[in-house]
Structure 1
Amino acid sequence: MTEVKIVEDCAATAETAFAYVNDYRNLPRFISEIHEFTPVTDQIEGVGATFDGTIRLGPATLHSTIRVVRWEENVAIAVKSIKGFEIESTFLFHGKDDNQCTVDAIVEYRVGGGIAGRVLGKTIEPFVKIAVKHSTHNLTTQIAEFQASRQG
């Protein structure tokens, strides 16, 4: 698997950051490459919640069904694909003080074998790195705004 990890500080508590990421409706707001993201189960949070998603990375459009595989309130949310494009994403939230946390965004993905897989991997790799960095910046900015709206 190829891993991309971005760590960024955020002007919000770990609790606020977790709450923002935990609401699946916010995902397309901070990951602009996501074009569809819908629940396929009645459960929409916690381990076992399952979603269908479509993401565009450069010239490639990739579909996955993902399931929440780790959910520790105010600490971590991780998803793993169970169908389609193989991806694992983890968000970790580390509290620093009353108004600061650090968010780790870790994305691991695997493309199929053979020539087609290698070509796809080389095609999407730069887009994945840019998307994760851009998404993490969007996320921390939106979390800080979310925290300010909760306080005001």
Structure 2
Amino acid sequence: MTEVKIVADCAASAESAFAYVDDYQHLPKFINEISAFTPLTEQVEGVGATFDGTIQLGPITLHSTIEIVRHEPGYAIGVKSIKGFEIESTFLFHDRGEEACTIDAIVDYRVPGGLAGKLLGKTIEPFVKLAVKSSTHHLVTQVAEFHATRANA
């Protein structure tokens, strides 16, 4: 597997950051490359919630069915593909006080073996790195705005 990890500080509590990411409807807002993300189960949060997703990485469109496999309120959300493009993604929220946290965005992906898999890996790797970095920037900005709205409510 290939791992891409971005660590970013955020002007929001870990609880607010977790709450923002825990709402699946926010995902396409901070991951611009997602063109579709649909729940497949009535359950839309917590371990076992399952979604169908499509992501555009440069010239390649990838589909996955993912399931939430880790859900620790205020600290971690992890997903893993159960069908399609192999991907594991984890968001960790490290509390730094009422107005600050650090977010770790970790993406592991695997391409199929053989020549086609190697070509796919070489094609998407720079796009994955850019997507994770861009998504983390969008996430930090959106979480700070979400936190400010919650604090003023």
Normalising by structure 1, what TM-score?
0.99
Question: How far apart are 1:104 and its partner, in Å?
Answer: 0.2
What pairs up with 1:63-102 in 2 under 5 angstroms? 63-102=63-102
Letter of the structure 2 residue corresponding to residue 123 of structure 1: T
Aligned to 1:30: 30
Aligned positions of 1:44-63 closer than 5 A: 44-63=44-63
Q: Distance in 1 between matches of 2:70 and 2:149?
A: 28
Aligned counterparts of 2:39 and 2:11: Cα–Cα separation in 1: 29
Map Cα deviations across residues 87-124 of structure 1 (whole Å, 9 max, x no partner): 00000000011100000000000000000000000000
2:140 is equivalent to residue 140 of structure 1:
yes
CA deviations over 1:21-75 (Å, ceiling 9, x no partner): 0000000000000000000000000000000000000000000000000000000
Q: Secondary structure at the match of 1:97?
A: coil
When the two structures are aligned, how many residues end up with a matched partner? 152
- Alignment correspondent of 1:119: 119
CA distance in 2 between partners of 1:33 and 1:10 (Å): 22
Partner Cα separation in structure 1 for residue 148 and residue 19 of structure 2 = 14
Give the whole-Å Cα distance in 1 for the aligned partners of 2:74 and 2:151: 18
State the Cα distance separating 1:150 from its structure 2 match. 1.1
Structure 1 residue runs without a partner (length 5+): none
Instruction: Measure, in 2, the Cα distance between the counterparts of 1:112 and 1:52.
Output: 20
Distance (whole Å) between structure 1 residues aligned to residue 81 and residue 137 of structure 2:
24
**TM-score, length-normalised on structure 2?**
0.99
1:16 maps to: 16
What fraction of aligned residue pairs are identical, expressed as a percent? 72
* Counterpart code for 2:78: A
Q: Which residue of 1 aligns with 2:128?
A: 128
